[in-house]
Structure 1
Amino acid sequence: MPNQAIQNPQTTVPNTQNMTDKDFLNDLLTTEKYMTASYTTAMNEASHDQLFQQISNVCHETEQCSRQLFNKMFQNGWYALEGAPTQTIQQSHQEYAGMQNQLPSGNMPH
């Protein structure tokens, strides 16, 4: 059985050379994703606890903005997801559980 797209009806946008709402949201979402990845790198390299915490807070805010942009695009039908067969989901879950069991338990040393 082929995967089915999970998508809302598309909000129509004018066919124009100018940027549309869809173009702006797509550009913003791409930027937010890039910023989140960059903040994650900065957190990994922060040697000062307060700096780490400030970057972490900004990263979380950026992730929230990214999620809101995705939701808006999804609501307008400009972002689609593919449904996966139950067997594929179960397989992925089993693989993840196996990897999780290989991780060390307890707290990491500081």
Structure 2
Amino acid sequence: MNQQSQKIQNPETSVPKTPQMNERDFVNDQLTTEKYMTDAYNIAMNEASNQNLYNDLAAIFKETQDCQRDMFNLMFKKGWYTMEQADQQKLQQSYQQFSGYKNQLPYQ
């Protein structure tokens, strides 16, 4: 069965098409930066041997993750981020596949 995917998107806010960075470029750059920062904080938390340091990193990670989510929400609101509606059949197939993996784990 070949179903056409449905896009989920808000109306796109137009931005100037010039060589200079526009609002969308700046927000996208910030979103990318926040994603890299959360990855780095996650690694730092895994490596922190001091509990106080870990707690500080966890607080900063949460703030950074929240900022990343805000950037995503802004881009979606402005129509600069598009998602596709999930195909129920594909979801069911993935669920069954990973349920099978779960049954192979030694601790159940």
Which residue, 74, 93, 96 being the options, matches 2:95?
93
The residue type paired with residue 13 of structure 1 is V
Q: How many residues align?
A: 105
Structure 1: runs of 5+ lacking an equivalent: 106-110
TM-score normalised according to structure 1 size: 0.85
Which residue, 15, 27, 30 being the options, matches 2:29?
27
Q: How far apart are 1:95 and its partner, in Å?
A: 3.6
CA distance in 2, matches of 1:103, 1:21: 51
Q: How far apart are 1:94 and its partner, in Å?
A: 3.3
- Alignment partner, residue 7 of structure 2: 5
Structure 2: runs of 5+ lacking an equivalent: none
Deviation digits for residues 21-53 of structure 1 (CA, Å, limit 9, x no counterpart): 100000000000000000001011101111111
Give the match's secondary structure for 1:33: helix
Indicate the RMSD between aligned Cα atoms, in angstroms: 1.7
CA distance in 2, matches of 1:30, 1:55: 20
Deviation digits for residues 35-80 of structure 1 (CA, Å, limit 9, x no counterpart): 0000001011101111111101110110100000000000111000
CA distance in 1, matches of 2:6, 2:86: 8
CA gap of 1:2–1:28, structure 2 versus 1, over 3 A, is same
Q: How far apart are 1:19 and its partner, in Å?
A: 1.1
Bigger mean CA deviation after superposition, 88-97 or 22-31: 88-97
